[in-house]
Chains A and B, each alone.
Chain A
Amino acid sequence: METTWFCLISLMIAVYVVLDGFDLGAGIIHLGVARTDAERRAVLASIGPVWDGNEVWLLAAGGTLYFAFPGLYAAGFSGFYLPLMIVLWLLILRGCAIEFRNHMESPVWAPFWDVVFSGASALLAVFFGAALGNVVRGVPLDASGWFFEPLWTNFRLGADAGILDWYTILVGIAAYFALTQHGALWVALRTQGELRERSRRVARWSGWGALILTLLVTWATFSIQPQVPRNFAAHPWGAVFPLLAVGGLAGVIAEVRRENADLGAFLASCAYLAGMLTSVVFGVYPYVLPACTNPAYSLTIYNASAAAYGLRVGFVWWVIGIALASGYFVFLYRHTAGRIESGGHGSH
């Protein structure tokens, strides 16, 4: 049952990364690709009806993590205290920027909210990447099962590591490129004209950036977290996850050169993100939070999970709930599909 929940929560996080990833990415490229007010409203209209629902996947994944792995939730959230609070503030600022940009059509304030929206999106991408980097690298858990990481110390790995060190920053930059590409492909898919062309150009160079950083991160991950090579050696079938990522990225680079392949390129980018994330969780399994102090202090799916009865009951309502939620999402996305005119109004 623990492994089932590990897979389900990984799935929810993958869905979150793929969905909120494109609206974060749209935010990153917002200032660069959209120059006029009409273009900026077109970018916002492309994510307008869905960004809020996409973010709900983060909350739902957080809530599910809480009840299935309370030990991980407690140790992880209190240990990553500062970056989580900063993530919250960025999410709040970003949400406000989108809403107020739409509500107050003021030539003075609109550019201000554009900068807030774009800056918060970029920082969130880097922070989410760095967070993933921390989970892979391991954190300084002590014998009582707690830790606290400052934002940075000396940027080196080791027992007094901070949230940001050279490895986690590298993962953060990789996430930045990956989401830039993802967002650019989404905007290209949903808009037209000059805006679409500029987005495709961004997708092209960020795709190469994502490729280089993926290689670097993969090399670094295999050398600093011994569990990853162990898992891939012990279960060679796990290679499907990195193959999905590689195939996805190759697909993006190939599709983005062709005309009228926007949907294919975007779906390939989805596959790339899902492949990267599943490769990571496959690599660290059964750890959910490895200790960089003493491997025996690590949190695993066994010592961090809730009792068997709760996990079984939860499974029943989780399946019903997610089936309903998926239904709403399919309905919502079908309802809002189609290209947005640069007049800036979505189909709703």
Chain B
Amino acid sequence: MEEALTLHRLHFAFTITFHYLFPQLTMGLALLILVLKTLAIRTGNEHYNRSARFWARVFGINFALGVVTGIPMEFQFGTNWAQFSRAAGGVIGQTLAMEGIFTFFLESSFLGLLLFGEKKLGPRGHWFASLMVFLGSWASGYLIVATDAWMQHPVGYTMGAQGEILLASFWGLLLNPWALWQYAHTMSGSVITASFVMAAIGAYYLLSGEHESYGRTFVRVGVIAGLVASLAQLFPTGDAQGRLVTEYQPATLAAMEGLFETQPGAPLVILGQPDVVKRKLDNPLEMPEMLSMLTYRRWGAEVRGLDSFPAKDWPDGIPVVYYSYHVMVGLGTIFVAILALAGIALWRGRLYGSRALLWTLLLSCPLPYIANTAGWITAETGRQPWLIYGLMRTAAGVSPKVSAGNAWFTLIGFMGLYMVLGILFLLLVGREIAHGPEPEAQG
């Protein structure tokens, strides 16, 4: 049973990590395409429409991959986590079903119009299609985040006679305070990914001397949007998310920070390696009393360490939680630095000619993917050992009759299939980038 549990967790972790490579780009990119379409209407400059068309093609490829890898996510609640689904399906089934009915139909219809309908719809109709694709993908994101937020911080439910969890308040579920902050944090992360990708491709065009007019637009839009989003990622969204964790998941906070001992004036760890057996942090590089300040807004405040919780309530992968959290925060800080420098250079009119900054933007392209993935790993492994925080342990949620052998079979199958998908995806996106937007001369 233990092996099966590990495999079911790996199964979900692998498929969702791969899946989220695509929506994190499309949600952010939907906003940037809307920005380009709006600029086209406001300025009357066809350049922005051609830019939007190029990004809509990249969007379309990513969206298709997001859909085909998203379908297995919806299935796995039932196939691999059947006891969880039987107990909680009446609650989280609401948000998942709403996603299907409200957003999938909307997105699949309007994306077709965005990609193929520009001639028939005219400029305003096409702008409207881009607005609907944006709304659909952002609503979809909210309903998924609300589902996860309920597992992090269950609200709006009552317990039934047989231990099933019953929905008691629809609006409580939908307006879970955890969901609101987690959504803001997730979406600004998504805008960061899209901004870096846009800026990186712009930088590539400028460095290679091809499609230079587009390169300038992409770099400009990417840097400005990315700077706003990466600041919002630290404050207020990241800060608020951290304080929710402090209040409702104190053991998770201790694991994230590598804080083994409860102490007043707790330090903020910049670097160090947690040793869970000896319950200490090796080679620590710390900022004294900073953690107390960030969490409780007081230098001397006491922060609970892992020692104040029984070991059975610790997240079972403390190093994973600790490192993923530090990778996320470290990269988030680097993003602000890179984009602030690029923003100043843009302001002073030097960015397009600065090879060092353009190379930095180009090479930074994978970093937001790593940061967003690390953020989700922090949230989901940090929630352990709970599947629904405080209500259901992960071991109690698994499908009782699906053996480890069958889980191995499908996990290997997904790994093989997703490898093929990944290669095909890179091939297609590579072709789009090499082909580039339409030449400026054409109508």
Residues of A within 8 A of B (CB): 49, 52-53, 56, 59-60, 62-64, 66-68, 70-71, 73-79, 81-82, 84-85, 88-89, 91-93, 95-96, 99-100, 103-104, 144-148, 306-307, 309-310, 313-314, 317-318, 321-322, 324-325, 328-329, 331-332, 335, 348
Please report the total number of B residues contacting A with Cβ < 8 Å. 61
Quote the shortest CB–CB distance from B402 to chain A (angstroms).
5
Complexed CA–CA distance, A230 and B157 (Å): 39
Known: A49-B112, A89-B413, A309-B167. A75 touches B105 (CB 8 A): no
Known: A67-B90, A348-B116. A92 touches B424 (CB 8 A): no
Quote the shortest CB–CB distance from B286 to chain A (angstroms).
46
Residues in A whose Cβ lies below 8 Å from that of B75: 62, 77, 84-85, 88
The reply to whether A313 and B94 contact each other, CB–CB distance below 8 Å, is: yes
Closest to B168 in A: A309
The reply to whether B71 and A82 contact each other, CB–CB distance below 8 Å, is: no
Quote the shortest CB–CB distance from B307 to chain A (angstroms).
38
Residues in B whose Cβ lies below 8 Å from that of A148: 401-403
Known: A66-B93, A144-B400. A328 touches B85 (CB 8 A): no
In the complex, B74 has a CB within 8 A of chain A = yes
The reply to whether A63 and B100 contact each other, CB–CB distance below 8 Å, is: yes
Complexed CA–CA distance, A53 and B101 (Å): 11
The reply to whether A59 and B71 contact each other, CB–CB distance below 8 Å, is: yes
Quote the shortest CB–CB distance from A49 to chain B (angstroms).
5
In the complex, B417 has a CB within 8 A of chain A = yes
Please report which residues of chain B, range 151-200, place their CB below 8 angstroms from some CB of chain A when the two chains form the complex. 160, 164, 166-168, 170
In the complex, B80 has a CB within 8 A of chain A = yes
In the complex, B72 has a CB within 8 A of chain A = yes
The reply to whether B399 and A78 contact each other, CB–CB distance below 8 Å, is: yes
Residues in A whose Cβ lies below 8 Å from that of B100: 56, 59-60, 62-64
The reply to whether A146 and B421 contact each other, CB–CB distance below 8 Å, is: no
Residues in A whose Cβ lies below 8 Å from that of B68: 91-92, 95-96
Known: A91-B68, A92-B417. A60 touches B101 (CB 8 A): yes
Interface string of B91-109 (1 = CB under 8 A from A): 1111011111110111011
Complexed CA–CA distance, A56 and B63 (Å): 14
The reply to whether B96 and A67 contact each other, CB–CB distance below 8 Å, is: yes
Closest to A70 in B: B89
Most buried by A among B80, B120, B402: B402
Closest to B432 in A: A103
Residues in B whose Cβ lies below 8 Å from that of A82: 406, 409-410
The reply to whether A81 and B399 contact each other, CB–CB distance below 8 Å, is: yes
Complexed CA–CA distance, A93 and B414 (Å): 12
In the complex, B217 has a CB within 8 A of chain A = no
12 contacts between A and B (CB under 8 A): A63-B99, A67-B90, A77-B77, A81-B79, A88-B72, A92-B421, A95-B67, A310-B94, A318-B101, A325-B106, A328-B109, A335-B120
Most buried by B among A73, A74, A95, A317: A74
The reply to whether A324 and B401 contact each other, CB–CB distance below 8 Å, is: no
Quote the shortest CB–CB distance from A100 to chain B (angstroms).
6
In the complex, B78 has a CB within 8 A of chain A = yes
Residues in B whose Cβ lies below 8 Å from that of A78: 78-80, 82, 399-402
Known: A53-B108, A85-B413. A67 touches B400 (CB 8 A): no
Complexed CA–CA distance, A78 and B116 (Å): 40
The reply to whether B104 and A56 contact each other, CB–CB distance below 8 Å, is: yes
Quote the shortest CB–CB distance from B70 to chain A (angstroms).
9
In the complex, B10 has a CB within 8 A of chain A = no
The reply to whether A52 and B402 contact each other, CB–CB distance below 8 Å, is: no
The reply to whether A310 and B91 contact each other, CB–CB distance below 8 Å, is: yes
The reply to whether B82 and A75 contact each other, CB–CB distance below 8 Å, is: yes
Quote the shortest CB–CB distance from A274 to chain B (angstroms).
20
Residues in B whose Cβ lies below 8 Å from that of A66: 74, 77-78, 85, 89, 93, 96-97
Interface of A is mostly: helix
The reply to whether A81 and B428 contact each other, CB–CB distance below 8 Å, is: no
In the complex, B396 has a CB within 8 A of chain A = no
From the candidates B69, B86, B92, B97, name the one contacting A314 in the complex (CB within 8 A). B97
Known: A70-B86, A78-B399, A92-B68. A63 touches B96 (CB 8 A): yes
Known: A92-B417, A100-B424, A313-B94. A56 touches B406 (CB 8 A): no
The reply to whether A321 and B101 contact each other, CB–CB distance below 8 Å, is: yes
Residues in B whose Cβ lies below 8 Å from that of A68: 93, 97
In the complex, B285 has a CB within 8 A of chain A = no
Complexed CA–CA distance, A85 and B82 (Å): 15
The reply to whether B93 and A52 contact each other, CB–CB distance below 8 Å, is: no
The reply to whether A99 and B85 contact each other, CB–CB distance below 8 Å, is: no
Residues in A whose Cβ lies below 8 Å from that of B108: 52-53, 56
Quote the shortest CB–CB distance from A95 to chain B (angstroms).
5
Closest to A76 in B: B78
Closest to A93 in B: B417
Complexed CA–CA distance, A99 and B115 (Å): 14
Besides A310-B93, A328-B105, 9 other CB < 8 A contacts? A49-B112, A52-B67, A56-B105, A81-B80, A147-B401, A148-B403, A318-B97, A335-B117, A348-B117
Residues in B whose Cβ lies below 8 Å from that of A307: 90, 160, 164, 166-167
Complexed CA–CA distance, A331 and B86 (Å): 37
Complexed CA–CA distance, A71 and B117 (Å): 42
Residues in A whose Cβ lies below 8 Å from that of B417: 89, 92-93
Complexed CA–CA distance, A144 and B64 (Å): 39
Please report which residues of chain B, range 335-370, place their CB below 8 angstroms from some CB of chain A when the two chains form the complex. none
Complexed CA–CA distance, A67 and B101 (Å): 12
Quote the shortest CB–CB distance from A25 to chain B (angstroms).
20
Quote the shortest CB–CB distance from B174 to chain A (angstroms).
10
Complexed CA–CA distance, A53 and B109 (Å): 7
Closest to B111 in A: A52
Quote the shortest CB–CB distance from B74 to chain A (angstroms).
6
In order of increasing CB-CB distance, the 8 nearest A-B pairs are: A70-B89, A77-B78, A67-B93, A306-B90, A63-B100, A78-B82, A63-B97, A321-B101
The reply to whether A313 and B89 contact each other, CB–CB distance below 8 Å, is: no
In the complex, B83 has a CB within 8 A of chain A = yes
Known: A89-B413, A324-B102, A332-B109. A309 touches B166 (CB 8 A): yes
